[in-house]
Amino acid sequence: MNRHQPYKTNLQPTIDNLTQAIFVVNRHAKTATDPKFLYKLKQNSLEKLLKEGKAKKVGLHFSSNPKNSQQQSDILVECGKYMFHLPPTKQDFRDLPHLGSLRTDVRNPKSTLSLNQAKKLLIHYTGLKESSPDNNLRRKKYEKPIFKKLGESY
């Protein structure tokens, strides 16, 4: 891979490739230690697909993992052969029908795309930039504790 063009990918941004990439990124985000960038990539990609008319909002579903409330709703977005959930806006509650509970019999197709390929494609498509790992190294350096005898002050 060329250092000056790290996010070039040989995949074309077709609906099928983009939805597979979103699926892979979403699946990995659920178990990642720091999923913020992956979820942002998913959200920006779906929002761009919605603006371009390549995806559509179907309705609202009750979330299977509500945060601090008894109930929480998510938008169900259909794009190609895949279905995704996004956080709703106030306008979505007014405009979209509520579909009730999540259907467990509806599944997304399998994808053979790697996380690396999926990220490259979505970064190229959305124009988002992943923060460099150098930012994570700027954490406070570990300092050894100072042990002193009982009653002593330092």
Q: What are the pLDDT digits (tens) for 86-141? A: 888 888 888 888 888 877 777 888 888 899 999 999 999 988 887 755 555 556 77
**Residue 7 forms part of a structural domain:** no
**Residue 22 forms part of a structural domain:** yes
Residue range(s) defining the domain that contains residue 52? 15-101+112-130
Token digits for 59? 């309705």
User: Which amino acid is residue 27, in one-letter code?
Assistant: R
Question: pTM above the 0.75 mark?
Answer: no
Q: How far apart are CA 92 and CA 59, in angstroms?
A: 8
pLDDT band at 24 (very low <50, low <70, confident <90, very high): very high
**Residue 26 forms part of a structural domain:** yes
**Residue 10 forms part of a structural domain:** no
**Residue 139 forms part of a structural domain:** no
What whole-number percentage of the chain has pLDDT above 90? 15
Look at strands 82-86 and 73-79 and give their pairing: antiparallel
**Residue 146 forms part of a structural domain:** no
Number of domains observed in the structure of the chain: 1
Most confident of 32-46, 69-83, 130-144: 32-46
**Residue 144 forms part of a structural domain:** no
